[in-house]
């Protein structure tokens, strides 16, 4: 009896070991093939079909970061978007202490869900930080063609609806809860298009293929917009002080809408009613066969869509309704120069505005080459900071670098910073320019205090490729150590994924080819124009 009693701990240990081994074997299921249910369960970062993707959005100071995730639920039948707020210095402290949990909890999470919005895009778009880092503004899809403007303030942990009860909002620019501007589809254009759709026949000359084939969808996505402003009171439509008519904007104008820090003026792109004939030779595209080019002649400003319209940068005084052309020349993007996709940016004193890509009407720049331009509001002058480079037939011109962000250096109107995606190391690659004399600009070293502070912050990036699912990763700039901040798809660890490889084929004369994307290299695309 005593012998059995002495062996009981050993027997118990064996039994427990066998039980735990069995439980472990049952819990670790073998990988299964990827199926439709797995596809629905995947969480993605940002909008995979749009640029910018808005997967990670950093505050102006770089001390806050919002990670945008998108998912669906078959059980609940809903779409879910989440905005995860991370304080970057806190990420740095977590990165230096491996004893803390493997994944870092965000400082705050904002969730938006819907069971009625179409599942063809994320619910949240146009994520914009306030200048003081206190929060973000964003649009939320609440239905098929319904959107609302929301403001999320970090300090209050509160989300507030700013937009009035409009069915659809196209864009916005916010300074605070009481000072903002926004655009909505033109009610006149919507009614006119709906009448055309209901007519027994319709002339299709000059219209797009999609608007003719899917007229209902076209009427729900009109891009001819009206501009509205809020200045501590009720929303009011913005009118042109010269004509008394509402200011008309199209896709480019709504996208580049930027309110001044003092809330008194807004910069945007206004479509040109009649493009001068001489502009075709003055401002040629870098690639002769480019779809986007200067096309002289009238542009129909009553049309519901104007995605290819040539525009110019204007400043609109929201008090006097005065509309002022800033450079008297076309913006670069629709003229075929696509190096810069940034938005305009104001100086802290609201006296200067940075235009991300436009030609200049005077002769101080290289003929036919657009620039990043600083426009001085008070003196009505403009200066070229950096010429833009174009995409050519066999690749980009020397010096080409896609510019995603432009801004004035904090507290300076004579220094600017450009930001470009660093595809090799992740994060953003910044270049600083300084004004030296008589309106000339040159690359300048970063300000030591600002540079040192940013260099101490960890680098947050979305890391993933065709072989590995995307995860949010933090990298210590001092020692290169990395940790995964967020893995939104742990379920993929139990999925048997294939091994993708580059496609290889044999062309004419038995030449071997291998598919591979080359950065800044044009890709020939051939599409079928008929169905079998």
pLDDT per position as a tens digit, 113-148: 998 877 678 999 999 999 999 999 999 998 767 889
Residue 430, pLDDT score = 87
Structure tokens at 343: 């938005």
Nearest to 455 by CA among 56, 88, 51: 88
Look at the alpha carbons of 359, 362, 366, 371 in this order and tell me if their dihedral is positive or negative. Answer: negative
**Cis peptide leading into 58, omega within 30 of 0?**
no
Q: What is the DSSP string of 74-120?
A: TTTTEEEEEEEEEEHHHHHHHHH-TTS-SSPPPSEEEEEEESSS-TT
| Nearest-10 Cα torsion for 279, 281, 284, 287 | 150
Rounded Cα–Cα distance for residues 251 and 417 (Å): 26
Answer whether 225's CB lies under 8 Å from 248's CB: yes
Residue 22, pLDDT score = 44
Rounded Cα–Cα distance for residues 149 and 160 (Å): 9
Rounded Cα–Cα distance for residues 473 and 459 (Å): 8
Rounded Cα–Cα distance for residues 519 and 532 (Å): 35
Answer whether 231's CB lies under 8 Å from 178's CB: yes
Rounded Cα–Cα distance for residues 177 and 175 (Å): 7
**3-class SS at 511?**
coil
Contacts of 217 (CB under 8 A, 6+ apart): 210
Structure tokens at 472: 């949010």
Identify the residue whose tokens are 């950065």: 519
Count of CB atoms situated within 10 Å of the CB of 212? 11
Residue 125, pLDDT score = 94
Distances (CA, A) of 345 to 60, 137, 261, 410: 11, 16, 10, 12
Residue 307, pLDDT score = 86
Rounded Cα–Cα distance for residues 346 and 406 (Å): 10
Nearest to 92 by CA among 451, 480, 457: 457
Residue 428, pLDDT score = 76
pLDDT digit string (tens) for the chain, length 532 residues? 444 444 444 444 444 444 444 444 444 567 888 888 888 889 999 998 887 789 999 999 889 999 999 999 888 888 999 999 999 999 999 998 887 777 899 999 999 999 887 767 899 999 999 999 999 999 999 876 788 999 999 999 999 999 876 678 899 999 999 999 999 988 776 666 666 666 777 777 766 666 677 666 655 677 899 999 999 888 999 999 999 999 999 999 999 999 999 999 999 999 999 999 999 999 999 888 888 899 999 999 988 888 889 999 999 999 999 999 999 999 999 999 988 999 999 999 999 999 999 999 765 555 689 999 999 998 899 999 999 998 776 777 888 888 999 999 988 899 999 988 776 666 678 899 999 987 789 998 865 555 556 667 898 999 988 778 999 999 998 888 899 999 999 988 888 877 777 778 887 666 777 776 665 555 544 444 444 3
Residue 103, pLDDT score = 81
Domain ranges for the chain, please list them. 191-220
Distances (CA, A) of 161 to 6, 25, 127, 152, 153: 71, 50, 14, 9, 12
Residue 263, pLDDT score = 94
- Partners of 346 in beta bridges: 353
Maximum distance among all Cα pairs of the chain, rounded to whole angstroms: 110
Nearest to 109 by CA among 78, 89, 76, 136: 136
Rounded Cα–Cα distance for residues 214 and 208 (Å): 10
């Amino acid at each position: 009896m005593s012998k059995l009693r002495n062996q009981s701990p050993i027997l118990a240990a064996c039994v427990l070991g066998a039980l735990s081994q069995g439980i472990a074997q049952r819990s670790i299921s073998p990988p299964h093939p990827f199926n439709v249910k797995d596809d629905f369960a995947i969480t993605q970062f940002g909008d995979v079909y749009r640029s910018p993707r808005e997967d990670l959005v950093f505050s102006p100071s770089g001390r806050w970061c919002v990670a945008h995730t998108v998912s669906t639920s078959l059980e609940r039948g809903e779409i879910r978007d989440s905005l995860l707020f991370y304080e970057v210095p806190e990420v740095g402290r977590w990165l230096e202490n491996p004893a803390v949990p493997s994944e870092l909890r965000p400082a705050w999470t904002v969730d938006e869900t819907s069971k009625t919005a179409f599942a063809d895009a994320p619910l949240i778009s146009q994520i914009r930080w306030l200048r003081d880092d206190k929060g973000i503004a964003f649009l939320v899809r609440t239905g098929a063609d319904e959107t609302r403007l929301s403001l999320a303030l970090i300090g209050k942990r509160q989300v507030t609806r700013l937009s009035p009860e409009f069915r659809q909002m196209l864009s916005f620019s916010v300074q605070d809860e009481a000072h903002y501007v926004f655009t909505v589809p033109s009610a006149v254009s919507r009614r006119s298009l709906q009448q055309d759709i209901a007519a027994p026949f319709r002339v299709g000359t000059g219209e797009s293929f999609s608007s003719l084939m899917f007229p209902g969808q076209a009427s729900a996505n009109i891009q001819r917009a009206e501009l509205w402003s809020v200045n501590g009171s009720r929303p009011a439509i913005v009118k042109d002080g010269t004509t008394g008519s509402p200011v008309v904007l199209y896709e480019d104008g709504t996208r580049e809408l930027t309110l001044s820090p003092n809330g008194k003026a807004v910069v945007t792109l206004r479509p040109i009613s009649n493009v001068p004939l001489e502009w075709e030779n003055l401002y040629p595209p870098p690639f002769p066969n480019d779809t986007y080019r200067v096309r002289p002649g009238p542009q129909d400003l009553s049309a519901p869509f104007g995605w290819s319209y040539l525009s110019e940068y204007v400043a609109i005084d929201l008090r006097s309704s005065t509309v002022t052309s800033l450079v008297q020349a076309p913006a670069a993007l629709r003229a075929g120069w696509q190096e810069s996709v940034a938005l305009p940016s104001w100086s802290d004193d609201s006296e200067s505005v940075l235009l991300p890509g436009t030609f200049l009407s005077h002769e101080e720049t290289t003929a036919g080459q657009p620039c990043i331009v600083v426009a001085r509001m008070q003196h009505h002058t403009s200066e070229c900071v950096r010429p833009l480079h174009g995409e050519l037939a066999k690749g980009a011109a020397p010096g080409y670098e896609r510019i995603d962000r432009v801004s004035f250096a904090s507290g300076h109107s004579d220094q600017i910073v450009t930001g470009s995606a660093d595809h090799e190391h992740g994060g953003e690659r910044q270049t600083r320019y300084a004004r030296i004399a008589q309106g000339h600009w040159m690359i300048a070293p970063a300000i030591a205090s600002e540079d040192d502070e940013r260099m101490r912050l960890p680098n947050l990036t979305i890391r993933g490729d065709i072989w590995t699912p995307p995860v949010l990763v933090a990298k210590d700039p001092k020692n290169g150590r990395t940790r995964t901040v967020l893995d939104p798809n742990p379920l993929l660890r139990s999925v048997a994924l294939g091994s993708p490889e580059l496609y290889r084929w044999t062309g004419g004369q038995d030449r071997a080819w291998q598919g591979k994307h080359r950065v800044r290299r044009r890709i020939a695309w051939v599409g079928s124009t008929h169905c079998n």
